[in-house]
Amino acid sequence: MRTGAMKKIKIAVIEDEADILEVIVYNLSKEGYEVCSALDGEEGLQLVKKEAPDLVLLDLMLPGLDGIEVCRKLKADPAAHSISIIMVTAKGEESDIVLGLGIGADDYVTKPFSPRELIARIKSVLRRGGLREEGVLISRDGLVIDSDRHEVRLEGNKIVLTAMEFKLLHFLASHPGRVFTRENLLSHVSSEDAFIIDRNIDVHIRSIRKKLDRHRDVIETIHRVGYRFRDEEG
């Protein structure tokens, strides 16, 4: 239980390029975060275990133990499993992004990035409260998803979704701002008696967007990676 002054959010930065690390640490500190850092994967793992940060900013291209392996080890550790992870990648590393998201990373940012972009992604992952969830209801603006009634209302009007469309929309909306690969989505919304191939996810998303009409942009396409439910701007 927290007492006294509010505890600062702590971010661990694991980045092997000293100049980039310095810039990141400076900007995060300026934003009011408590920051700790490491220059390689092994050191980073020990840092996370020692400091128990709220979020890890993890470069994928690390010497020795790379970022993917660090992410895998953190997600396999009961003490660190719930810590949010944002991967830092270079352009052209789409396969690593997909793999990282598949093993539990929350989001990614691509180099080169601006401090403003980085802070926005961090706030998005930390916030995760962009939607208001009240019992079985999830709502934003005029969109209401009622899992008890298994229905969706848009500005007061009921819209008809198939069972799979409802599962997809509800799952994405329950995790605003988080990127999911098609494989992630398949594993969460398909059942053993329902056959759905990878690319059919795209068909369902297109159908959902059409039915959401002017609210269609609430589901964002992340190029070559997957989809996410748009977090509220903050």
CB-based burial label for 198 (10 Å; 0-12, 13-18, 19+): exposed
User: What architecture does CATH give domain 132-229?
Assistant: Orthogonal Bundle (1.10)
Low-confidence ranges of the chain (pLDDT < 50): 1-6, 129-135, 192-198, 234
How does pLDDT run across 28-50, given as a tens digit for each residue?
A: 999 999 999 999 999 999 999 99
Name residues whose C-beta falls within 8 Å of residue 89's C-beta, 6 or more positions apart in sequence: 60, 96, 97, 108, 109, 110, 111
Q: Bridge-partner residues for 55, per DSSP?
A: 11, 84
Residue 86: per-residue pLDDT: 92
**Residue 79 CB coordination number (10 Å):** 10
Fold of 10-127: Rossmann fold (3.40.50)
- Which residue in 197, 233, 1, 225 sits closest to 98, CA to CA? 225
Residue 92: per-residue pLDDT: 61
What pTM was computed for the model?
0.66
Name residues whose C-beta falls within 8 Å of residue 48's C-beta, 6 or more positions apart in sequence: 12, 56, 74, 80, 83
Q: Domain residues of the chain, as ranges? A: 10-127, 132-229
Max Cα separation, the chain?
A: 55
- Give how far the C-alpha of residue 111 lies from the chain's centroid of Cα atoms, to the nearest Å: 17
Contact 9, 126 (CB under 8 A): yes
Contact 67, 43 (CB under 8 A): no
